Amino acid sequence: MTDLAMPVAAARPGGLRRAAPALLGYAAVRALGLVVLAAWSAARGKNAYTLLTGRWDALWYERVAGLGYGYEVRLPNGDVHSNLAFFPLLPWLERLLAAVTPLSYADAGFVVALLASLAAAGGIFAVAEHVYGSRAAVCAVLLWAVLPVGIVQSMAYSESLFTALAAWSLYAVLTGRWVTAGVLALTAGLTRPVGLAVVAAVWTAAVTPFVRRRSAATAHGARTATHNPSLHQARAPEPGAPRDPGPGARRLLGMLLAPLGAAGYVLWVGHRTGKGPLGYLDVQAGWRNGFDGGYAFARFVAEKFTSFPSALAGLGLITGVALVLWLYVVGVRQGQPLGLLVYSGVVVALALCASSYFGSKPRLLLPAFPLLLPLALALSRSRTSRSALVVGGAAVASALYGALWLNGSGPP
């Protein structure tokens, strides 16, 4: 298998067979969520399919697919909502699928989301199996499926597509396929701004072994020179000695490829708006979105404690953030691979420290699947009957919450 081979569930012999229980379980959970959403929406006189494909961000992606970039909405308060805020890979796929099938852009977005969610489940399984084994991998996929905002995985949004590209890029990193990791990181960077997390993971995983070897070699050389100073001098390679630059060259190529997607789009936006390399930040500012280190979110949570009913919501937010941070710390203590820790850490930081759209934070955390690995490992060590009961109960709760959420305020 070459380094450029696309990772699939069968990356190792029998991989698809081992992943089958996880993929079937994932499909069952998502089907339950869609059925409950359809019934709930019908009871309220709403169209479930419209909620999945024709509102909020899904509508913006559809407009990019159909009209290209340049559409914007000017609000009465002066804010400008430009579709340049939305990265291009999902609308490109919508346009491509609509061009070769009878599907509309909205239909194409739904199909892409469904296929990407299965690819994401496969990628999560591959990563978790590589780290903790098949049983924990099945649990990780099912836990990702039953997240409270798991219904987003079936929406014409970019979360499923991004998670699929990120998970398979991380798997490529874990298995030393550096060019594949770089290509997938590039495409993840064309999907969402948080593609920066995948780039950071690829770079960190690629550089760390080199740094460690250099440090170890320096320490070893110093000890050797103490006993025999003449050995401290570098030896010139013998004429005609074989050289094998392949692994290092592929690692470097993967690192060079990884940031090109995100960097290319951000620079293009800057050029199009005439505001230079940081023009994309101005576009985000028009949506009142930015990075403030979590100050605005902390103030938003604090304001919840001004009255008793809202204080319960504030307590729930604090509990949720504490749980996320606790899961990250547990992952560190369990010795998760550094690439996974860097990836999930950047995703969490960008989600929690964004200055707007506080109701979207659970959705923005959706791609941070390595946070679920400690829970998956614990669940895998339980009896099958107990694990099935936990996952089944969570699946029902997730389906009900998803239906309630989309029929209420819902995303963004």
The predicted structure's pLDDT at residue 219:
59
Assess whether pLDDT exceeds 70 at residue 233: no
Q: How confident is the model at residue 354 (pLDDT cuts 50, 70, 90)?
A: confident
pLDDT per residue as tens digits for the range 251-271: 999 999 999 999 999 999 999
Q: Does residue 43 lie in a domain region?
A: yes
The torsion angles phi and psi of 354, rounded to 5 degrees, stand at -70, 150
- Quick check: is 13 in a domain? no
Q: Tell me, what's the pLDDT at 248?
A: 86
**Could you read off the pLDDT of 120-174 as tens digits, one per residue?**
999 999 999 999 999 999 999 999 999 999 999 999 999 999 999 999 999 999 9
Asked if 294 contacts 307 with a C-beta cutoff of 8 angstroms, the reply is no
The CA-based diameter of the chain, rounded to the nearest angstrom, is: 85
Does residue 84 contact residue 269 with C-beta atoms inside 8 Å?
yes
Q: Where are the alpha helices (DSSP H) in 258-294?
A: 260-273, 279-286
Q: Is the pLDDT of residue 346 over 60?
A: yes
Q: Is residue 234 part of a domain?
A: no
Residues 382-405: what's their mean pLDDT? 96
Q: Which helix (DSSP H) or strand (DSSP E) does residue 80 occupy?
A: strand 80-82
* 12 in a structural domain: no
Q: What confidence score (pLDDT) does residue 217 get?
A: 60
Contact 7, 171 (CB under 8 A): yes
Mean pLDDT of the chain: 89
**Among 6-15, 37-46, 213-222, where is mean pLDDT lowest?**
6-15
Does residue 242 sit within a domain? no
Q: Answer yes or no: is pLDDT of 15 > 70.
A: yes
> Is 235 part of a structural domain of the chain?
no
Domain membership of residue 64 (yes or no) is yes
Tell me the average pLDDT across 228-251: 52
pLDDT over 90 at 216, yes or no: no
In a domain? residue 227: no
* pLDDT number for residue 12: 60
pLDDT band, residue 372 (cuts 50/70/90): very high
3-state secondary structure of 295: helix
pLDDT in the model for residue 357: 78
pLDDT surpassing 80 at residue 65: yes
Alpha-carbon gap, residue 124 to 370, rounded angstroms: 8
pLDDT given at position 234: 41
pLDDT of residue 309: 82
pLDDT of residue 1: 42
| pLDDT surpassing 50 at residue 386 | yes
pLDDT in tens, 169-208: 999 999 999 999 999 999 999 999 999 999 999 999 999 9
pLDDT of residue 245: 41
Whether 284 contacts 290, CB under 8 Å: yes
Question: Using one digit for the tens of pLDDT, what is the confidence trace for 294-324?
Answer: 988 999 899 888 887 888 989 999 999 999 9
Domain tally for the chain? Answer: 1
pLDDT at position 232 over 50: no
Domain holding 352, by residue range, is 19-222+252-406
Query: Who wins on pLDDT, 84 or 231?
Result: 84
User: CA-CA distance, 31 to 204, in Å (whole number)?
Assistant: 37
